[in-house]
Structure 1
Amino acid sequence: MGQQLLDRLGDLTRTFANVLIIGRRCPSLIAGLAAIPATSNAQISFIEQSATLAERFGVIIGEEDQLPVEPDSFDCILWPGGLESVNDVPGALLRCRLALHGDGLLLGCFPGDGSFPLLRQVMRHSDGDVAVARMHPQLDARAMGDVLAKVGLTMTVVDCDRLTLSYASLADLVADLRSAAWTNMLSGAVRPITRQGLDWANSAFAAASDNGRALEQLRLIHFSGWSPHPDQPKAARRGSATMSLAKALRAR
């Protein structure tokens, strides 16, 4: 996800002076920002939920959906994962817009709807007839586009990228999820998986394997939007075109 953000920033012709990164400190993302023209001279700030980590790295402490920053503080906000787990998505995006200067950029991505279908299937096997909240609800691209517009961002873009991951066992998939900090985030007690349930889940995972490997899907939703500014390009008024689509196609 960090590399995708760098690729998209690399396509821009403008530069940014103050960049806020929401979420974990990713060394490769930080190094990449210093290597591209858009952010090579930018001052980089971070939001960190952990008080211990915030003190260690000297960064801002705060919740992702409650940015403790002043309005008009940054001209670029990057959010490489994490939006999918916040309590108030519209509120979080609105706070991002307010934290941006006019014509500032919000750019991010997160795992969206359709991610980890195999894991969802095997978890249903593990729990039998009992419904257990084991995975977050997932945002879809259309809803994300609507929310970006509703919070007042302009020139919004939402697109998707599907990754196929191959695993030899359910344990390997769970290990990757833990490494990415994508495991349970619920504050209360969670119904544990029984030994029999785990056996069912492993069996379901093995049944979905082909030649000893099971394929899992990860659907990344990329989003961007700009804080409003009078100098931004504006869409033409509906009905103001001087050439019909049919004529334009014939001319082509």
Structure 2
Amino acid sequence: MRGFSLFQKSSSLWRRRRQAPSSVLSYETFCTDNSDGLQSSRLKIFDRHLKRKQRDRAAWLMSPKDSFVDAVAENVLDRLEDCKKAFPTALCLGGSVEPISRLLRGRGGIEKLITMDTSYDMVKRCKDAEVDGRNEGIETSFFVGDEEFLPVKESSLDLIISCLGLHWTNDLPGAMIQSRLALKPDGLFLAAILGGETLKELRIACTVAQMEREGGISPRISPLAQVRDAGNLLTRAGFTLPGVDVDEYVVKYQSALELIEHLRAMGETSALLQRNEILKRETALATAAIYDSMFGAEDGTVPATFQVIYMTGWKEHPSQQKAKRRGSANISFEDIQKQFGSGS
């Protein structure tokens, strides 16, 4: 995207169809739904209707190629190259659906790719995108659906990919449980979500500005999962062989206002259910000034940190490796210590 650059990374379809295959999609969901159609999660943090409108807007604002989003999508898809098996039927679930489809390039042995998003405009953008034969031979379907009420039949998918989308669900464990149920035995779940260190510079600047201008603070940036929670989420959802790793991306912008515009284009602006609808102009200007004063670089740019948590989990299958039964070891730690020494 013009105007900002990804400068640091630490750690480290298309045959169009009007409907998705009937063997996969179902109007039955795997979590309890209220009779009035509202979300069943007891704790509602995010306004899902607002998030859908934000993603509608993002479908028109997003850049054809976003260096940060593309880097995350590539990192997710690289994990398919580490798998020896193929995944004939895959679901791309919300978030960065367009980059995943564009960058797939035959990885994973996918034969059918289903693209789903809560936003009709985002789904339409993916459907209308020029593919230039990049995913030739892959049967592709598109539909509008909600990650919180996944309309997919049980044991119908080999692979589920969610790139930068699930952190906006009110019931993240429930959404992951539904994903596990939708997978066939030995099916793979791949997800990338934004972690708690994301936009830490903006959080600080906004807090200081609100204290100065308004005498108090109100939530402006959405809460995000911590790294320590990711493994627990996979285990709680019933996935086997859980894997978690973290990348941190620092992106340069010309100003804090340009960062906000990028967040809009990604559909990543705040969607808190309990939020102050109006941000005072003086508070916004103060936030930008404080951001530049506290974090500005010598070249005139300002950095923004994005922490991305990658999660990998498998649906249980008899062929998978399993931990040995407790007490089944035939050598003691004392013997190992005697053989190799206690060390220094």
TM-score under structure 2 normalisation? 0.67
CA shift, 1:246, in A, is 6.4
- Checking the alignment, whether the CA contact within 8 Å between 1:132 and 1:191 is kept in structure 2 is no
Matched, 1:117 2:200: yes
Please name the residue that 1:92 is paired with: 175
- Checking the alignment, whether the CA contact within 8 Å between 2:156 and 2:184 is kept in structure 1 is yes
Please name the residue that 1:45 is paired with: 114
**CA separation of 1:88 and 1:142: change in aligned 2, threshold 3 A:** same
Aligned equivalents of 2:275, 2:172: Cα separation in 1? 24
Number of residue pairs matched by the alignment? 250
CA shift, 1:152, in A, is 1.0
- Checking the alignment, whether the CA contact within 8 Å between 2:194 and 2:308 is kept in structure 1 is yes
Aligned equivalents of 1:112, 1:245: Cα separation in 2? 37
Matched, 1:33 2:104: yes
Aligned equivalents of 2:253, 2:121: Cα separation in 1? 34
The 3-state SS of whatever aligns with 1:23 is strand
Aligned equivalents of 2:261, 2:335: Cα separation in 1? 57
The 3-state SS of whatever aligns with 1:59 is strand
The 3-state SS of whatever aligns with 1:235 is coil
- Checking the alignment, whether the CA contact within 8 Å between 2:219 and 2:275 is kept in structure 1 is no
TM-score under structure 1 normalisation? 0.90
Matched, 1:190 2:259: no
Please name the residue that 1:237 is paired with: 325
Q: Quick one: percent identity of the two aligned structures? A: 28
- Checking the alignment, whether the CA contact within 8 Å between 2:97 and 2:163 is kept in structure 1 is no
- Checking the alignment, whether the CA contact within 8 Å between 1:76 and 1:104 is kept in structure 2 is yes
Runs of 4+, deviation exceeding 3 Å: 24-28, 51-58, 186-191, 244-252
The 3-state SS of whatever aligns with 1:149 is helix
Please name the residue that 2:223 is paired with: 137
Please name the residue that 1:158 is paired with: 244
Q: Greater relative contact order (Cα 8 A, min sep 6): structure 1 or 2?
A: 2
Aligned equivalents of 2:100, 2:336: Cα separation in 1? 43
Aligned equivalents of 1:190, 1:156: Cα separation in 2? 38
Please name the residue that 1:20 is paired with: 91
Gaps of 5+ in 1: none
Please name the residue that 2:312 is paired with: 224
Gaps of 5+ in 2: 1-71, 128-140
The 3-state SS of whatever aligns with 1:102 is strand
- Checking the alignment, whether the CA contact within 8 Å between 2:73 and 2:96 is kept in structure 1 is no
Please name the residue that 1:146 is paired with: 232
Aligned-residue Cα RMSD (Å) equals 2.3
Matched, 1:215 2:303: yes
